[in-house]
Structure formats: C-alpha cells, structure tokens
Amino acid sequence: MSIFDYIAIGCMPLMTLLILVQTRGATVGAGLGGSAEVNTTRRGSEKTIFQLTILTAGIFAVCIFLGIIK
C-alpha cells in the first residue's frame, strides 16, 4: 500500500463526518427536501465546514487517482 492509500483511508471518515454535520433544517421534512426555506449564503461555521468538505473531497479524489496510476 502506498501513502496515497493511507491518506485516502484517513479522508473517508473525515469527509463522511463533515457531510453529516451539514444541516439544512431542523425538521424531518426539511431533511427530506420539504423545507420552504431558501438559504442562499453560508456564514460562519457552516461556511467553514462546507469549505473543509470540499477540500477533503479534493484530497480524497487526488489520492485515489494517484493510487490508481501508481
């Protein structure tokens, strides 16, 4: 196993946790898409979590790609 495999394995639980932490509403209906509330901007910790999720997904994708071609 290469270092890229270990990094990808480390990114998986972190990315899963970051995705699950992101919320769009407090009710079950909001979680299933039934919310009438529209959030257009992310602020504060929500924005930071969103950016960390994108960064983690990018690192994961690069590691998977480099692991395949190596």
Q: How confident is the model at residue 16 (pLDDT cuts 50, 70, 90)?
A: very high
**Sign of the alpha-carbon torsion through 61, 62, 65, 70:** negative
Residue 54 contacts residue 11 (beta carbons within 8 Å)? no
Q: Domain tally for the chain?
A: 1
Confidence of residue 42 (pLDDT cuts 50, 70, 90): confident
Closest among 13, 17, 33, 16 to 25, alpha carbons compared: 33
In this structure, is residue 34 part of a structural domain? no
Is residue 10 assigned to a domain? yes
pLDDT of 26 > 60? The answer is no
Supply the range of the domain harboring residue 5.
1-21+42-70
Q: Tell me the three state secondary structure of residue 17.
A: helix
- Indicate whether 53 belongs to any domain: yes
35 occurs within a structural domain: no
Confidence of residue 30 (pLDDT cuts 50, 70, 90): low
